[in-house]
Chain A
């Protein structure tokens, strides 16, 4: 449904995309996962026909983003990262406006947005600028859906949103996916990868890996331990000096220690005792998307 071939884009001398090859299947919920500056927004804007690539090509539903941009604009829904609705129009006026532009009405496609819009309806006479963050995001999604697009492009819809609204938003995306809409969504929150069918991990304008979230996690190939002692700061310093250590990263209340090869936990325990640590706990750790991301991005 979405294809790109060697997409490249620079802003002045700064490369934003360094040759992106991507394939998104029809009906897939596909995540672009990466920090700020990875190139997520540039890629989405090129697919939304709002930006021209320097090199390479891209198609949505077999239509070229340059030659067939008019047809593409009719068939995609796009939600930019920054709130871009009319702040001084009401909720209902914004939605009517977007429906009219696409030559349709709210009634005609109400079925598609009903789940989301019922939560907004009590506020339909409120100006968009006066809505809470979570409500703005729901309205923006309704406006992106009102012309019944086949592809949704969502640029960081959950950034800066609290965990409750984030969860609700992902539940909405699951329901839209069930209605056979292809969804490409970007996010800097690594933990959201598990909510996608497949993800591309992005960093510095390149794709590090594309796969199902479970396969990505299972591809981690080093012994990984979670270690904890009474003094985490000292623990990090000491583990960095530990010869068999590959990487040492704080992970919540534990420190994730990846090893160059298998080492008996007793050996690590003894090493830490020698350095004056107390309350030592060492256990096997399950790798997370972040472990993978850090491993891949450091190579």
Chain B
């Protein structure tokens, strides 16, 4: 199996409202896959199904080799998740957060200790190791949250708008961490509102009203619309005539 994710006519309805309307796509192992769409297009609902948090109404999906209906618990163990809004416990210290998540993912205590030392060293965060997360700058927090999301070496890491509000240098350091992770074989599934960030992805899908309106490499998408930026591609797809 060479796909980290396969979705086939994956659908979610809430009453009469179809939030995700029969989407089909595949994500390769080690790929950086951008999952874009306007607010309310169905991204979050789709992501909740793929992470085993929400049962689809119809269709099929395999994530990290497991079925979203029958094996959601196995999926949760094989993935990492990070969002801008919530990832770390602000009233725990940096080292405590690492230990907490290590424990949740069932890593042996000794390994968690070693990983904590390695992470703090690699991120250059020694000065913050015993600070509460609430007191450290946003950029550091987000790099730490990402490192923790991949602490248990997941097959796939889901990033939900990971870089909002971060300065451009830190944002790039963050993307370098993503490249490194993908280079080591972890699949990266990322949503973002920064259209220029879509261009960092190997392939990108754009959701419009519950459906996947386009899926391709950023280069191919720009070429097919004859435009210079992903922002223009996005506007063409989501605002016909605009």
Real binding pair: yes
- Interface residues of A, Cβ cutoff 8 Å to B: 34-38, 132-134, 159-165, 167, 188-191, 203, 231-234, 236, 249-253, 290, 293-294, 297-298
Chain A residues, Cβ within 8 Å of B138 = 35-37
With a cutoff of 8 Å between Cβ atoms, the chain A residues found around residue B231 in the complex are 163, 191
Check A163/B235 contact, CB under 8 A, given A252-B196, A253-B200. Answer: yes
Contact B38 A164 (CB under 8 A): yes
- B175 CB-CB contact with A under 8 Å: yes
How many Å lie between the Cα of A253 and that of B228 in the bound state?
Answer: 13
A133 touches B180 (CB 8 A): no
Q: What's the Cα separation between A203 and B242 when bound, in Å?
A: 34
The 8 closest A-B pairs by CB, nearest first: A252-B199, A35-B167, A36-B165, A233-B179, A162-B38, A233-B183, A290-B168, A162-B39
Of A189, A233, A249, A253, the contact of B199 (CB 8 Å cutoff): A253
Q: Chain B interface: which size bin?
A: 35 or more
The docked-state distance in angstroms from the alpha carbon of A160 to that of B44 is 14
Q: Does B1 interact with chain A (Cβ within 8 Å)? A: no
Q: Are A250 and B39 in contact (CB under 8 A)?
A: no
DSSP majority for the B interface? helix
A133 touches B168 (CB 8 A): no
- Contact residues in B for A236 (Cβ distance below 8 Å): 176, 179
A-B contact pairs, 26 of them (CB 8 A): A35-B139, A35-B166, A35-B168, A35-B170, A37-B138, A38-B167, A132-B40, A159-B165, A160-B193, A162-B39, A164-B235, A164-B238, A165-B38, A188-B166, A232-B179, A233-B176, A233-B183, A234-B183, A250-B172, A250-B176, A251-B196, A252-B200, A252-B218, A253-B219, A290-B168, A294-B172
A249 B172 Cβ-Cβ under 8 A: yes
Give the chain B neighbours of A164 by CB distance below 8 A: 38, 234-235, 238-239, 242
Known contacts A163-B231, A252-B200, A253-B200; decide if A189 and B167 are in contact (CB<8 Å): no
User: A134: which of B39, B197, B200 is its contact (CB, 8 Å)?
Assistant: B39
Question: Could you tell me which residues of chain B, from 164 to 216, have a CB within 8 Å of some CB in chain A?
Answer: 164-170, 172, 175-176, 179-180, 182-183, 193-197, 199-200
Chain B residues with CB below 8 A from A163, complex form: 38, 193, 195, 231, 234-235, 238
Which residues of B143-178 are within 8 A (CB) of A?
Answer: 161, 164-170, 172, 175-176
Q: Is the CB of B39 within 8 A of A161?
A: yes
Residue-wise interface mask of B (39-70) relative to A, using a CB-CB cutoff of 8 A (1 in contact, 0 not): 11000000000000000000000000000000
Q: Which residues of chain A are within 8 angstroms of B15 by Cβ–Cβ distance? A: none
Contact with A along B82-108 (1 / 0, CB 8 A): 000000000000000000000000000
How far is A214 from B164 in the complex, measured between Cα atoms in Å? 25
Contacts A161-B39, A163-B195, A232-B179; A294 near B168 (Cβ below 8 A): yes
Cβ distance B36 to chain A, nearest Cβ, rounded Å:
9
Q: Is B241 an interface residue (CB 8 A)?
A: no
**In whole Å, how far is A121's beta carbon from the nearest beta carbon of chain B?**
20
Given contacts A36-B167, A163-B238, 8 further A-B pairs with CB under 8 A are A36-B165, A37-B138, A163-B234, A233-B183, A250-B172, A252-B218, A253-B218, A297-B169
CB-defined contacts of B197 to chain A, threshold 8 Å: 252
Contact (Cβ within 8 A) B168 A293: yes
CA gap between A165 and B179 in the complex, in Å: 30
Whether B137 sits at the interface, judged by CB under 8 Å, is: yes
Chain B residue at minimal CB-CB distance from A293: B168
Alpha-carbon distance between A37 and B141 when the two chains are bound, in angstroms: 13
Interchain CB contact under 8 A, B39 and A189: no
Chain A residue, CB-CB nearest to B32: A232
Question: How far apart are the CA atoms of A190 and B170 in the complex, in Å?
Answer: 14
In Å, the complex CA distance between A234 and B195 comes to: 24
Asked if residues A250 and B175 are in contact (CB atoms below 8 Å), the reply is: yes
Residue in chain A with minimal CB distance to B38: A162
Chain A residue, CB-CB nearest to B84: A160
The residue in chain A whose Cβ has the minimal distance to the Cβ of B195 is A163
